[in-house]
């Protein structure tokens, strides 16, 4: 990413209401695939807070590719442990 692109991402995150963004994300996910809701056993408010925190952490780390990649990989590993898998099409 260019410094300009990084700036746009961080500025955009700072301008968003993360609570609304996260609530909309989960609404769209569950509208698309209602059975995914069974994978979420944590209180929804706690889950939304975790999502917002993780998103902010990832965005803050994009200035350092090694840190970003390590954070994203750790997130992926955790989610694989929760049972998340790549979507299949066809």
pLDDT value at residue 40: 86
pTM of the model: 0.77
Name the DSSP class of 36.
G
DSSP H helical ranges for 33-88: 44-60, 65-82
pLDDT value at residue 86: 81
Mean pLDDT confidence for 23-40: 91
**Under DSSP, is residue 64 helix (H, G, I), strand (E, B) or coil?**
coil
Burial category of 3 from C-beta neighbours within 10 Å (exposed 0-12, middle 13-18, buried 19 and up): exposed
- Name the pLDDT band for 12 (thresholds 50, 70, 90): very high
Report how far residue 3's alpha carbon sits from residue 38's, in angstroms, rounded to the nearest whole number.
40
* pLDDT tens for each residue of 32-78: 989 888 888 889 999 999 999 999 999 999 999 999 999 999 999 99
């Amino acid at each position: 990413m260019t410094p300009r692109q990084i700036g746009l991402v961080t500025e955009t995150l700072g301008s968003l209401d993360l609570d609304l963004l996260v609530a909309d994300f989960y609404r769209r996910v569950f509208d698309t695939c209602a059975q995914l809701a069974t994978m979420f056993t944590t209180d929804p408010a706690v889950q939304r807070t975790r999502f917002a925190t993780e998103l902010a952490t990832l965005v803050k780390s994009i200035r350092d590719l090694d840190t970003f990649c390590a954070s994203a990989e750790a997130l992926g590993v955790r989610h694989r442990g929760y049972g998340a898998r790549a979507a299949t099409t066809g």
